Structure 1
Amino acid sequence: MITLPNECYHEIFNNLRYNYKNLFSCALVNRQWCKFIIPILWSEPEYYFRDTRIIRICLLTLNAEEQASLIPFNINFPSHPKPLFEYTSYITSVDGNLSEGIKNWFPYNIYSCELGNAVKSSLIAMFLRTCKNLKHFYLDEIICNPIILEYFYNNTTVTSIDFRSKSKSIDGLVNILYKKSTLTSLNFKSIQLGTNGMKILLETLDKNTSLNSLGFGGKWIGTEEGKIRK
């Protein structure tokens, strides 16, 4: 029997990347196939961030520093062994579904916004630390977390951010726009900055030289033909 080159396996499985059920079944065939498929399955979790099993695996990946910030909340972390794969290293996109997954992971009578934001901050810090090809991120007021900001400054792969902005988060965004030269796309899902905050934002955007695409609530201003598009 002729053995296929690794490139062929990757091409075949990549064509199934959105057929999650069949792709997962293929991952159970043998170790070799599994090594090809796991990176594909984890590259764009999106809606699957709502799955508590995904959140559990992500929590198992937190390091001591990321766990330490959650100590005041007396969270019982999963006691399972460390995952066989470095699953989060394959993630390329983190969106708003992460917040829903965190809510789902906690019993309804325990969850609070403060608790959810604390866990989200630790998970985002972990993603920025472990994801090797992270391209897209969804951020909100937790951008004020100094640990997250430091990871963002050092990250060289993120090129696109969806941002839900409030006045208290403007300083974090301004710092990123000043210091992160790899950021080329910024989309504001909503803006609640007030007059002073908006002035600061516009002044910062005026000085930024790396962005080539800017979106406001679904409307985009891009470099292509200088047009505004939906």
Structure 2
Amino acid sequence: MSKIDNDVLLIIFDELKNDNGTLFTCALVNRQWCKMAIPILWKDPIKNQQFNEQLLDIIKYSLPYESKKLLLSHGIDITSNLQLRKKPLFDYIKYCKYLRFNKINEYANLMTKSIKETDYFLIKREIFKFYISKCSSIKFLDLNFTERYYQLSHDDLMKYQLLKFPGAINCFSELMELHCDSNIDSSIFYGFAEICKFIQKIYIYQLYDNPGLIELIKVQKNLKKFKYTASKFIKYKINEFTGIGKALEKNSETLLHFKALDDLYGNCFIPGVFSKFKNLEKLILFRLCYCFQQYEFEEQLSFTSFPKLKVIHIQDASIYTVKKIIEKTDGNLIKIAIYDIEYKKDYDNKPFQDLIQSIYKNCPNLKFLRLEIKDEILEDFEKLLITCNQLEGLVIESCRWKMYNNYNIKNLLLLLAKSSPINLFKFKFYYYWDFDQISLNLFFENWRGRKPLKFYMVGTDKFLSIFENYKNEGIIERYEDIEDIYFKCFEW
């Protein structure tokens, strides 16, 4: 067997980084392949939910003698049930690039039968000290906790003083992604702000204006993605995240993705902050109806231009706001997902028509669309299908004001079979469409000769024989019964 250059192997194995099974098989081929595959396999050995007993044994075996001696002096023998009897072939821990506080927390609790909190703390401290001394450049850090360990873990973070362990600067200075909870003591964030200047992704849970977190965001030089959920601990206060908003303004040139998720507690960013994000490519805003300043917030959004925007997911916004955002995107939108659009029950069809017109007049490159459809606007919807000829996937909702009077799907299916662009073959139908055998058969017959369908709807079990028949004939590639999953609406 001829030898493959290491650089080539590295490129190949990096493509397989999410396929541990194949990578493990490659590691068994020969010594060269093993040396190249192991560092990739061990970048994130605890990313999966299932318990990794091998990792637990390696941590126990590899802990420095000083740590084991310290633990023994407190009556903690972590090697008593050690399965690993020989020295590992590799210094595996040094390859880790992902550090997940909650996972380490769980593994530490499995190392002893003691019920003393002080014992858990000592074990966790020694594991973190070990990781920080071994890992030269952690890329991903997750400081979130499960509810079970929530308060204890927050207290532990203060006690550990991770950034004071030997090697901390070397370990965290190249951090690229941070997941955290803003209820962590601000001194910890201030510490990371001194070391970490090039974080590209920050995901925050339980967001509020933590001064240390504000400083950490402010000092970043290449922040590209920011995602947050609101804090349930301030649900009785009006919190505009003024400090966080101002810190993000400092990153307005580099910020490409902004996601505000599950804001059930009436919090929002100061309305003016979005006018600074001229380079945004992805904007996701959920539950605007819970925002204390929804009117001011939507008004600012309607005035703001996002010329580079490619993806928008928005929930509970008015038709007018959504329309205005779309009109100021310079034709770059490729994904639009509109959820629970706000309108009055007695609205006429004009707002819907205006929205559809804004899409087909301003989105020539559109590939995926989620939209609420009424029978009365199918003529305008047909213009959208004809004009947006790059469409690949449609997620179609029935009008929710008639959710208790199911829509007949016949006219929509006839239109889709007649006017869908050649690239369009992925469909999802949400909520209260009234499918029937005749309409489905007619649609699938009219689809003959086109790219096989991916057809998802609620209630496929009622029409299994139809779906199986057309799947066997090659007209359907895949069908599935679905539930509404917001973040996966464009996954087929």
Per the normalisation by structure 2, the TM-score is: 0.39
Distance in 2 separating the partners of 1:229 and 1:57: 41
Q: Distance in 2 between matches of 1:87 and 1:59?
A: 12
In structure 2, the residue matched to 1:127 is 131
Aligned to 2:105: 99
Q: How does 1:90-169 map to 2 (within 5 A)?
A: 90-95=95-100, 96-107=102-113, 110-111=114-115, 113-139=117-143, 141=154, 142-145=156-159, 148-150=162-164, 151-155=167-171, 156-166=173-183, 169=185
Query: Deviation string for 1:126-153 (max 9, x for gaps)?
Result: 2222123420112253432455212434
Q: CA shift at 1:39, angstroms?
A: 1.0
Residue aligned with 1:47, SS: coil
Q: CA deviation at 1:23?
A: 2.5
User: Equivalents in 1 of 2:3, 2:202: separation in Å?
Assistant: 45
Q: What CA deviation, in whole Å up to 9, does each residue of 1:72-113 have, x standing for no partner?
A: 642223364442211111111122333333334444xx3555
Structure whose CA Rg is larger? 2
Bigger fraction of residues in helix: 1
Contact 2:78 2:112 in 1 (8 A): no
Residue of structure 2 in register with 1:50 after alignment: 51
Counterpart amino acid of residue 130 in structure 1: K
Equivalent position of 1:85 in the other structure:
90
Partner amino acid, structure 2, of 1:100: E
Tell me the distance in 1 between the aligned counterparts of 2:214 and 2:15: 44
Equivalent AA in structure 2 for residue 217 of structure 1: T
Runs in 1 of length 4+ with deviation above 6 angstroms?
A: 218-222
Residue matched to 2:439: none
Question: What SS is found at the alignment partner of 1:217?
Answer: strand
Aligned position for 2:196: 180
Structure 1 residue matching 2:205: 3-state secondary structure: strand
CA distance in 2, matches of 1:148, 1:101: 18
Change in 2 beyond 3 A, CA 1:153/1:202: same
Q: Which residue of 1 aligns with 2:40?
A: 40
Amino acid at match of 1:188: I
CA distance in 2, matches of 1:49, 1:117: 23
The one-letter amino acid of 2:126's match is S
Displacement of 1:121: 2.6
- Distance change in 2, residues 1:69/1:125 (3 Å): same
What are structure 1's unaligned runs of at least 5 residues? Answer: none
CA RMSD of aligned residues (A): 3.6
Q: Are the counterparts in 2 of residues 161 and 187 from structure 1 also a CA contact under 8 Å?
A: yes
Instruction: State the shift of 1:202 in Å.
Output: 6.2
> What is the TM-score normalised by the length of structure 1?
0.74
Q: How many residues align?
A: 222
